[in-house]
Each structure stands twice: as C-alpha cells, then as structure tokens.
C-alpha cells in the first residue's frame, strides 16, 4: 500500500481541492475527510475551529498519510500551527499558496480577500500577503451569506447577484485588480462575482493555488498504477456522494461515515 | 435549591422560548443550553440530530432538572421519542403546542408550515396537525436561507423581502390563513413575512405556543423568590451574551462554556 495524501475540509467544498490534486497527481492515493456534521466552520470561535481541525487531522494521521492538506480556509487560517504539533509530516494550508498567486498576479498591488468570518477575523491572508509584498494594500471582507447561497443551489438565481453586489461594492470602490476567493465554496459563485467586478479583476481559487504549490513540493511519480480514492464524512453520506459525483464527474466507490465519542463537560 | 426547568436549542434562537417561559414562570429556576458550536441542526441527518439532542438532554438531566423543553424545532421533530428513553421527567417539544395553536386559529383549515430541511423532511408538524384536524390541508416548505439571513442581521434588508417572496409564493398561492413559523429564528422575520402575506394570515410562534402549553401543565408557583437563570453554550460565549442581552433586555449573570470529549471512529 502506498502512503496517501490526506485532505480535510469542513464539508464538501474541499472536493474542488481534491479534484485539482487528483488531476496533478494521478498516481497518488488520496484520502478525503469532510466534517459534514459540523459544517460550517466560518462562524465558530478560533478555539473550536482548532479543536475540530485537530480531531480531523488526528483521524487522517491514523490512516498513515504522508502529507496533510487543509482545504478549509477557516481551518487553514487559525489551526496550522496547532496541527504541526501533531506530526512531522508536511502540513499545508491554503493561505500561503493563495497569497503567493495573488501577489504574483496583482499589478496595482491592491488585493481583495473575501472569506468566512473566521478567516477574515484571523487576518491570515492579509498577513501572508504583506509578508510577501509589504507595499500591498489588502482589503478584507467577510461574506457570510455566500456559503448558504451555494448550499441552497442559488448560485444562478438573481438574488445571488444582489447579494454579491451588496457585499462586494467596497471591493469595486477600492479598485482592486485581484480577489482571493478565500473559501472553497466561493469558486461556485465566480461567474456572478465576475459579472459584477468585470473581467479585469483576477480571481484566485484555493484549489488551483494548492495543487500548483504541491507540484513544486512533491515529485509527480508514476508507478504505473492509478491512485486510490477514499472518502470519509461525519454526516449526510448520500448528500455528500451526490454533490461529489457532480464535482468529480464520477461516482464514489469508497465512502464511509465516521463518528465521535462524545460527552459534555463544563471547563 | 429548586429543581429547574431545562431548555435546549441548537443555538441562540431558543432564547425567545426561554424569555416566554421566564415571563410565565417568574419563580422557576431555568437552565438554558445552546449548542452554538454545532448550530445549525436544520441541514443535518436525523441520526446526527438525535445524537446531538441526546447529548444536550443528558447534560441538562445531569443538572437535576424536573422538566425538559426542546426549543429547537429540528430536534423536536425527530428526537423526542429518543429523549423520552433517557428520563421519566416531562420532555416537551415545540411541535404539538405549535400544531394545537395552528389548528385552533385556522378557519379555512389551510395551514402552512415553514422550517428547516430537517423539520420539513420529518413531516412532524404535518402529522401532528392532521392528528388534531384530519380535514386540514397542510402545506410544508423548507426555507434554508431564513436562518443565515437572520444570523447576518439582514432581517430589515431589502434582500430579506426578496428571499421571503421567493420562498413563500406557494403559500400565498395556496390561500393559507395560518402559518407555523417552525424554527426559533423565524419570528425575527415576522414583519417581512407579514408584509408579503398580509395581516390576514395568522403567524404561529413556538415561544408563545410552548409557554401557553406549559402553563396548562404546570402550576405557576410563587414562593416569594425570583427564579435563577443559568446559561450554558458550546461556543462563542461573547456573541451569545450579546445576542441574549438584546433578546432578554438584560445582561446575563451566569454563562459558561461546556466542551465535549471527542475522538473519531469508523462505524
């Protein structure tokens, strides 16, 4: 058995990251975990996001992975230092890869970042972008309704455009030329965002960013055998399987539900 | 120490239920638990809703409560039979009280029910209403964006009216005269719903329904001492405290965060 790459996300959104990595590394075994029982992570406190991310990482580490990809932007923005304490394997979030592409593609160095409350509050993108390009001006904005709109399947509904306009007006006013889509759900709204901001604003997608980053770090090996996919979720297997087959363009052959041992206690 | 009434909800919404019970029973001790780490329950599977509801109920039972109120409509619609196995104390959800008021107030027996995916999929309201009034026609509809709109504080935003129109058009077409607001968040959209459906449609609110039901079940005792309030949440204490003080009109004096022991396993 080959050692797999592990990927976790708060839900289904990270499947776009999974797909990009699968395309770049056809011979790697990949294991995906989606915490569909506790999605969304965006509105949760940093402590809770860290706690859940550590549980998810531990589960994947138990499967003997050789690299851990944190597809969830909210987890990536607060939990990476805590996850690095769990293991010596490479642990890679989406913040640095996305920030690198943003800095590289921006000409006027006026960069917008949109994400969940947790991601924006952490200022992780803003710090990473300024570390790479200290003269950059970063405009950050939480867009809490984007995830529910996508989950409801309303990305082509006229109301989606209204909500995009309402949130992104400050981005337009600030004359950004690059916008980081700092949540795995947001690429599903790209066409609406592009309609409002125009074609001149470059949209940066976590999935592209991280698979590009990974190809720089890891050799693309070909042992003649196609890599195996395994999927684990904490709830709603059927809903996950149906969304996954739409995103990945094929049915899942290995999907299992995982559960937690749980009991409440007061600190 | 008096034996308290315990109330749980998936988050902050159940505070409207808490408030109504506090007003009806000023001398009772009340304990509230909001599962703010795992909110929302609406999109989760029945098994997960049951599992979380059992954990919440166990925690309150450990505090020695004499009655358990399930303020969350999603929990009420699937978990009550499972909770009743945990204890012999009265365990009361919002479905039956809300259905009773709906049947009583409807003249044309055309009753609408709106709620989360979990509540609507369970058909709990529809069954309860038809048990009380077999000739009633019940029109049920999930409105997954109502909770995020309220959580975002957009209940007075023009987009709220657009979303209400989009969801509730079938209710208008079906000529209902009563609408059950089957989620504790929805009363915060009452004014928008009323604007669209008009004043002739009676809106049924879980908080009023359950406190009315409880006054029929329990004597309102006056031992000369005002009841004590205790609040427990699983995340975001500060956010909870600020919303709670707005809903209850006073600051909370006893709020604690509770945590879970957790580790994943495959079934």
For residue B262, being part of any structural domain is answered with no
For residue B136, being part of any structural domain is answered with yes
For residue A265, being part of any structural domain is answered with no
Closest Cβ–Cβ partner in A55, A144, A157 for B264 = A55
Query: Does residue B191 share a domain with residue B106?
Result: yes
Query: Does residue B224 share a domain with residue B164?
Result: no
For residue A262, being part of any structural domain is answered with no
Query: Does residue B225 share a domain with residue B126?
Result: no
What total number of domains does chain B contain?
A: 2
Q: Cβ of A236 under 8 Å from any chain B Cβ? A: yes
For residue B263, being part of any structural domain is answered with no
pLDDT of residue A2: 80
Say which DSSP state A235 is in: S
The last residue of a domain, from among A206, A224, A240 = A206
A3-53: pLDDT as tens digits: 999 999 999 999 999 999 999 999 999 999 999 999 999 999 999 999 999
A63-86: pLDDT as tens digits: 999 999 999 999 999 999 999 999
Say which DSSP state A251 is in: -
Q: Cβ of B38 under 8 Å from any chain A Cβ? A: yes
Q: Residue A158 above 80 pLDDT?
A: yes
Cβ-Cβ contacts under 8 Å for B165 (sequence gap 6 or more): B196
For residue B176, being part of any structural domain is answered with yes
Query: Does residue B63 share a domain with residue B101?
Result: no
Query: Does residue A247 share a domain with residue A186?
Result: no
Q: How far is CA B127 from CA A173, B46, B132, B134, in A?
A: 52, 17, 9, 9
Q: With a threshold of 0.80, does the pTM exceed it?
A: yes
Query: Does residue A81 share a domain with residue A129?
Result: no
The last residue of a domain, from among B190, B206, B222 = B206
For residue A266, being part of any structural domain is answered with no
Q: Which residues of B touch A154 (CB under 8 A)?
A: 145
* Chain B nearest-CA residue for A166: B159
pLDDT of residue B48: 95
pLDDT of residue A253: 81
Q: Cβ of A257 under 8 Å from any chain B Cβ? A: yes
We report the CATH number of the domain holding residue B247 as: 3.40.50.1860
N-term to C-term CA, chain A: 42
> Could you say which residues from 164 to 183 on chain B have a Cβ atom under 8 Å away from some Cβ of chain A?
166
Closest Cβ–Cβ partner in B159, B258, B259 for A163 = B159
Cα B265 vs. chain centroid, distance in angstroms?
31
State the nearest Cα–Cα gap between B160 and chain A, in angstroms.
10
pLDDT of residue B2: 80
Query: Does residue A88 share a domain with residue A33?
Result: yes
Whole-angstrom Cα distance, residue A35 to residue A63? 16
Q: Residue A267 above 70 pLDDT?
A: no
Whole-angstrom Cα distance, residue A231 to residue B53? 26
Q: Cβ of B196 under 8 Å from any chain A Cβ? A: no
- Verify whether the Cβ–Cβ distance A234 to B264 is below 8 Å: yes
List the catalytic residue out of B72, B95, B214, B243.
B72
Closest Cβ–Cβ partner in A51, A148, A265 for B258 = A265
Query: Does residue A218 share a domain with residue A186?
Result: no
Query: Does residue B217 share a domain with residue B192?
Result: no
Query: Does residue A121 share a domain with residue A198?
Result: yes
The last residue of a domain, from among A206, A222, A241 = A206
Closest Cβ–Cβ partner in A45, A151, A258 for B235 = A45
For residue B267, being part of any structural domain is answered with no
Pairs of residues, one from chain A and one from chain B, whose beta carbons lie less than 8 Å apart: 118
Give chain B as a 3 state SS string. CCCCEEEEECCCCCHHHHHHHHHHCCCCCEEEEECCCCCCCCCCCHHHHHHHHHHHHHHHHHCCCCEEEECCHHHHHHCHHHHHCCCCCCEEECHHHHHHHHHHHCCCCEEEEEECHHHHHHCHHHHHHHHHCCCCEEEEEECCCHHHHHHCCCCCCHHHHHHHHHHHHHHHHCCCCEEEEECCCHHHHHHHHHHHHCCCCEEEEHHHHHHHHHHHHCCCCCCCCCCCEEEEECCCHHHHHHHHHHHHCCCCCCEEEEEEEEEEEEC
Query: Does residue A132 share a domain with residue A69?
Result: no
Query: Does residue A125 share a domain with residue A192?
Result: yes
What is the residue range of A202's domain? 95-206
């Amino acid at each position: 058995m080959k050692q797999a790459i592990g990927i976790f996300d708060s839900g289904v959104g990270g499947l776009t990251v999974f797909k990009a990595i699968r395309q770049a590394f056809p011979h790697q075994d990949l294991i995906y975990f989606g915490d569909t029982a506790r999605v969304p992570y965006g509105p949760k406190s940093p402590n809770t996001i860290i706690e859940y991310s550590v549980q998810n990482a531990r589960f994947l580490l138990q499967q003997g992975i050789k690299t851990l990809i944190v597809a969830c932007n909210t987890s990536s923005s607060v939990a990476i230092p805590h996850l690095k304490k769990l293991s010596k394997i490479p642990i890679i979030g989406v913040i640095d890869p996305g920030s690198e592409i943003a800095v590289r593609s921006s000409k006027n160095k006026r960069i917008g970042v949109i994400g969940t409350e947790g991601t924006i509050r952490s200022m992780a993108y803003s710090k990473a972008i300024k570390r790479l390009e200290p003269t950059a001006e970063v405009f950050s904005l939480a867009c809490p309704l984007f995830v529910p709109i996508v989950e409801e399947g309303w990305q082509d509904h006229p109301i989606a455009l209204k909500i995009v306009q309402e949130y992104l007006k400050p981005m337009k006013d600030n004359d950004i030329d690059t916008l980081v889509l700092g949540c795995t759900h947001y690429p599903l709204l790209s066409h609406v965002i592009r309609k409002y901001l125009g074609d001149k604003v470059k949209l940066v997608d976590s999935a592209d960013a991280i698979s590009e980053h990974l190809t720089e770090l890891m050799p693309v090996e070909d042992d003649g055998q196609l890599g195996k996919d395994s999927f684990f979720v904490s709830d709603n297997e059927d809903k996950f399987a149906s969304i996954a087959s739409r995103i990945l363009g094929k049915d899942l052959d290995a999907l299992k539900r995982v559960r937690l041992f749980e009991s409440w206690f007061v600190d």
